[in-house]
Amino acid sequence: MKRKSRFKKLILLGAFMLPGSGHLLFKKNIKLGIHLLLGTIAIVLLVIFRWDRFINTFQSKAVDHWVAAIFIILSWLFMAFISVKHTCEFLSDKMQKPRIKTPLFLASRRFKENKLAVVSLYVICIFYLVAVLAPFLATHDPSAIDNVLETRYQSPSWEHPFGTDEFGRDLYSRALYGARISLSVGLLAVLIAILIGTLYGSVAGYFGGFIDNIMMRFVDVFIAFPTFFLLLMLVGVFEASIVAMILILGLTSWPGTARFIRGEVLSLKEKQFTEAARAIGLPHRTIILRHLIPNGISPVLVSAAMMVSTMIYSEAGLSFLGIGIRPPIPTWGNMMSSGKDALLVAWWVALFPGGILAATMLSFNLLADGLRDAFDPKVLMRRFL
Amino acid sequence: MWRHILKRLAQAIPLIWGILTITFFISHMAPGDPMDMYLEQQRQRQVDPEIIELLRQKYGLDLPIHVQYVKWLGNVVKGDFGESFRYRRPVLDLIAERIPYTLQLTLLALLFSTSLGIIIGIVSAVKQYSALDKGVTLGSLIIYSIPGFWMALMLVLVFSVYLGWLPTSQTRSMDYEFFSWGQKIFDRLWHLILPVFVLGVGSAAHKARYVRNRLLEVMNEEYILSARARGLKEKMVIFKHALRNAMIPLVTILGLHLPALLSGSVLIESIFAWPGMGTLAVGAVGGRDYPVMMATLMISAILTIVGNLLADITYVALDPRVSYEKKKPV
């Protein structure tokens, strides 16, 4: 009996030190186990190869290094926690609870059938991880300028996988740091847009009549502006810092979402569950927030994935024109802008940031495609619009 | 029919008013007024405060904002968009110079993308679920996802820098003036190939998917079944019966694509040094040229509305099933 408990402790220790080992040992939920194990190996490799930077982090004041280091530690702890928890369940031999087939579960199962969408989800996750861990993954300081005459416009090599730019800065490292701007601007702007758009559209659709009319006319006006001209104007009026950029992008793109959700709400509010909610005297706020929005949100999520790609594109475009986020801060857009000037001497300066940008946008569009099929199998026919 | 058109026109007027209003208030949200911006540009010179005051009065900036708004609106309705800070010329003249170039680019891109989209859409619908169809579906998503300005750079790199087949930028060659009449047209078209292709190819991908899906939907309709039952050839069924019906909603899509094309033209124009509205707007933002910024924003929006209006009217004219009196379900 005592030996058995020691054995258990050993397994638990193993599951803690090497997340995922428990899953593989008991041959249960092997997929999750492999993911945990790969994550662990990635972390271990990263820490070993960048040991000096990892250690130096805790003496430095660079915020992004701290964030990256804390992220690594937290993700380790998180994986270890899951691993130990599951291993405990395996050890105590509890029956696993049968899965309830909620709509979300069914949707996720349909999503997993779409291989391209799953791959693109992985790609997106990896991009975001890379963006967070940029300080540890970069091979050079993104803004280090050495002897410019010798180091400028070096073509891609082992030392500089993406080559160097006109100041001899390593483009690979700059692309990694650029990813953080592009990806976070895209995500945050979409969050703002979705939040405003959903509330606005559902209120308009729910109350209908005069209020709806007024509110939607305003949306019509907003949609009539060609996005890029509107962005140009706003960027011209306000100084384009990163925060301003997020706000400008977010505050200009909610009308599309509002239209979407309004349409959904218009049909949902005729359904019986809304009537029932009204009959038991729920306030409007509760009906909108708890009943209408959750039921009508799936097309919004699909459009959100596409919107992230558009936002990233817009930010890159503005920076490319030299009026978005300005050069000392690397973004894919302004890297391409310097690539445009150097097109005749150094093709790699424009090629790589743009290629990554295209890959990101493609991943989000594929993700949107997969989400659309997952949420509504009926509209398989009407993809892309 | 005419009643419908008039009704649509009447609906467009408040929309345009809204656009003007929003433009005005955006430009006045800026910290400081346009005069500060103007002075900031001329910062090399010290300007006498009295002169500043006089200038303020001249441009009406000392008035309360609602008075300014009404005055400005009155001027805009009369076609007076003010004077550019940078070029010292009426904004309307500047835009009138630039707009043909932008329209040339966008309309040709619209034509190109529509024809390409329809052809590819038909092919992949006819061969549904074949390798070709799947390839086209994925390929169009990839092309749709490639940022236009990057594609433009890469195409310039390949076709202009390495192969030397196409010009890198500008609307015409340096020695354009000495060309004969035919050569001039050829030269213009030569310079249009790359920008039109880049601008149009993304929305062509979009339209191809749209046409494909619409065509497949229409193929399930009963009139197609009856056409087949009468023993018509497959070619006849597709081109005469299915395609015509599938095309009608495409008109609306054309209208919806116009703002995207105008937006895209900003980047494409600046890459190809195309003297259109996009480059004008970008230059105005860089130089804080407020009157020009406001005018380009307004005019691009009004172009969009006109485009949608045309699409809407064409839609009703093409499809007799849509009644003029009832509101179209949105």
* Nearest-Cα residue of chain B relative to residue A117: B138
Q: Is A143 exposed, middle or buried (0-12, 13-18, 19+ CB in 10 A)?
A: middle
Q: Check if A317 contacts B (Cβ < 8 Å).
A: yes
| % pLDDT > 90, chain A | 6
Report the pLDDT value the prediction gives residue A188, as an integer from 0 to 100: 92
Report the pLDDT value the prediction gives residue A381, as an integer from 0 to 100: 40
Distance CA A119, CA A135 (A): 25
Residue A366, helix vs strand vs coil: helix
Distance CA A247, CA A58 (A): 33
Report the pLDDT value the prediction gives residue A83, as an integer from 0 to 100: 81
Q: How far is CA A6 from the centre of its chain?
A: 43
Q: What is the ipTM of this complex?
A: 0.83
* Nearest-Cα residue of chain A relative to residue B160: A344
| Residue A280 backbone phi and psi in degrees, to 5 | -85, 10
Beta carbons of B300 and A350 less than 8 Å apart = no
Q: Is residue B251 part of a domain?
A: yes
Same domain, B61 and B210: no
Q: Is residue B32 part of a domain?
A: yes
Interface test with A, best of B106, B151, B285 (most A CBs within 10 A): B285
Q: Residue A142 pLDDT more than 90?
A: no
Beta carbons of A317 and B209 less than 8 Å apart = no
**What's the average model confidence in pLDDT over A319-329?**
82
Residue B191, both tokens: 């310079």
Confidence class of residue A196 from pLDDT cuts 50, 70 and 90?
Answer: very high
pTM, entire model: 0.85
**What's the average model confidence in pLDDT over A102-119?**
81
Distance CA B207, CA B213 (A): 10
**Between these two residues, A187 and A98, which has the higher pLDDT value?**
A187
Task: Enumerate the residues of chain B whose CB falls inside 8 A of the CB of residue A228.
Answer: 262-264, 266-267, 278
**Between these two residues, A102 and A337, which has the higher pLDDT value?**
A337
Beta carbons of A237 and B149 less than 8 Å apart = no
Distance CA A385, CA B174 (A): 43
Same domain, B145 and B195: yes
With contact defined as beta carbons under 8 Å apart, do B243 and B178 qualify?
no
Same domain, B106 and B230: yes
Confidence class of residue B322 from pLDDT cuts 50, 70 and 90?
Answer: low
Q: Is residue B90 part of a domain?
A: no
Task: Enumerate the residues of chain B whose CB falls inside 8 A of the CB of residue A214.
Answer: none
First to last CA, chain A: 64
Distance CA A316, CA A185 (A): 10
Domain hosting residue B34, numbered range: 20-77
Between helix A298-320 and helix A332-341 the angle, nearest 10°, is 40
**What's the average model confidence in pLDDT over A116-128?**
89
Q: Check if A344 contacts B (Cβ < 8 Å).
A: yes
**Between these two residues, B256 and A182, which has the higher pLDDT value?**
A182
Cα–Cα separations (whole angstroms), residue B27 to B78, B133, B208, B294: 20, 48, 39, 7
**What's the average model confidence in pLDDT over B285-301?**
83
DSSP for B26-68 reads HHHHSSS-HHHHHHHHTTTS---HHHHHHHHHHHTTTS-HHHH
**What's the average model confidence in pLDDT over A85-100?**
71
Beta carbons of A232 and B156 less than 8 Å apart = no
**What's the average model confidence in pLDDT over B101-130?**
87
Distance CA B83, CA B99 (A): 17
Of A347-356, B105-114, B282-291, minimum mean pLDDT range: B282-291
Cβ-Cβ contacts under 8 Å for A15 (sequence gap 6 or more): A21, A22, A80, A83, A84, A86, A87
Residues 124-143 in B contacting A (C-alpha not used; CB under 8 Å): 138, 141-142
Rounded to a whole number, what is the distance in Å from the CA of B161 to chain A's nearest CA? Answer: 7
Q: Residue A291 pLDDT more than 80?
A: yes
Interface test with B, best of A215, A218, A237, A360 (most B CBs within 10 A): A237
Same domain, B66 and B181: no
- Residue B315 has a CB neighbour count (10 Å cut-off) of 18
Task: Enumerate the residues of chain B whose CB falls inside 8 A of the CB of residue A322.
Answer: 286
Same domain, B160 and B25: no
Report the pLDDT value the prediction gives residue A194, as an integer from 0 to 100: 92
Report the pLDDT value the prediction gives residue A195, as an integer from 0 to 100: 92
Report the pLDDT value the prediction gives residue B270, as an integer from 0 to 100: 87
Distance CA B25, CA B73 (A): 12
Cα–Cα separations (whole angstroms), residue A333 to A329, B6, B222, B256, B287: 11, 45, 51, 26, 20
Residue B127, helix vs strand vs coil: coil
Confidence class of residue A384 from pLDDT cuts 50, 70 and 90?
Answer: very low
Same domain, B62 and B183: no
Report the pLDDT value the prediction gives residue A385, as an integer from 0 to 100: 36
Average pLDDT, chain B: 80
Beta carbons of A383 and B209 less than 8 Å apart = yes
Q: Is residue B3 part of a domain?
A: no
- Secondary structure E strands in A168-281: none
Rounded to a whole number, what is the distance in Å from the CA of A351 to chain B's nearest CA? Answer: 7
Confidence class of residue A97 from pLDDT cuts 50, 70 and 90?
Answer: low
Same domain, B56 and B102: no
* Nearest-Cα residue of chain A relative to residue B279: A321
Q: Residue B40 pLDDT more than 70?
A: no
Q: Check if A85 contacts B (Cβ < 8 Å).
A: no
Of A223-237, B231-245, B312-326, minimum mean pLDDT range: B312-326
Same domain, B168 and B213: yes
Same domain, B49 and B156: no
Residues 45-64 in B contacting A (C-alpha not used; CB under 8 Å): none
* Nearest-Cα residue of chain B relative to residue A356: B146
Confidence class of residue B28 from pLDDT cuts 50, 70 and 90?
Answer: confident
- Which domains, ranges and CATH numbers included, belong to chain A? 2-98 (no CATH), 148-384 (1.10.3720.10)
Beta carbons of B271 and A340 less than 8 Å apart = yes
Question: How many Cα atoms sit within 13 Å of B23 on the Cβ side?
Answer: 29
For residue B221, the cross-strand partners are none
Rounded to a whole number, what is the distance in Å from the CA of A239 to chain B's nearest CA? Answer: 9
Same domain, B104 and B237: yes
Closest CA to A295 of A340, A325, A263: A263
Cα–Cα separations (whole angstroms), residue B48 to B39, B45, B52, B136: 11, 10, 6, 66
Q: Is residue B285 part of a domain?
A: no
Report the pLDDT value the prediction gives residue A380, as an integer from 0 to 100: 42
Q: Residue A368 pLDDT more than 50?
A: yes
**pLDDT for A147-188, tens place per residue?**
766 667 777 777 777 777 777 777 888 888 888 888 888 899
Same domain, B118 and B208: yes
Distance CA A118, CA A124 (A): 10
Beta carbons of A362 and B141 less than 8 Å apart = yes
Report the pLDDT value the prediction gives residue A148, as an integer from 0 to 100: 66
With contact defined as beta carbons under 8 Å apart, do A79 and A149 qualify?
no
Q: Is A156 exposed, middle or buried (0-12, 13-18, 19+ CB in 10 A)?
A: middle
Q: Among positive and negative, which fits the CA dihedral B69, B71, B76, B81? A: negative
Same domain, B248 and B121: yes
Q: How far is CA A110 from the centre of its chain?
A: 21
Q: Check if B217 contacts A (Cβ < 8 Å).
A: yes
Average pLDDT, chain A: 81
How many domains would you assign to chain B? 2
Q: Is residue B321 part of a domain?
A: no
Beta carbons of A224 and B156 less than 8 Å apart = no
Domain CATH number, residue B211: 1.10.3720.10
What residue type is assigned to position B317 of the chain? A
Q: How many residues in total does chain B contain?
A: 330
Q: What share of chain B is helix, strand, coil (3-state, %, to 5)?
A: 75, 0, 25
Distance CA A33, CA A122 (A): 16
Q: Is residue B267 part of a domain?
A: yes
Confidence class of residue A244 from pLDDT cuts 50, 70 and 90?
Answer: confident
**pLDDT for A29-76, tens place per residue?**
777 888 888 888 888 888 787 777 777 777 777 777 778 888 888 888
**Between these two residues, B174 and A120, which has the higher pLDDT value?**
A120
Q: Is residue B298 part of a domain?
A: no
What residue type is assigned to position B265 of the chain? S
**pLDDT for A261-273, tens place per residue?**
888 888 888 888 8
Rounded to a whole number, what is the distance in Å from the CA of A296 to chain B's nearest CA? Answer: 17
Task: Enumerate the residues of chain B whose CB falls inside 8 A of the CB of residue A225.
Answer: 19, 22, 259, 297, 300-301, 304
**pLDDT for B165-189, tens place per residue?**
777 777 776 676 777 777 777 777 8
Q: Check if A326 contacts B (Cβ < 8 Å).
A: no
With contact defined as beta carbons under 8 Å apart, do B137 and B216 qualify?
no
| % pLDDT > 70, chain B | 88
Q: Which of A222, A237, A343 sits opposite B156 (nearest CB)?
A: A343
Residue B177, both tokens: 């003036």
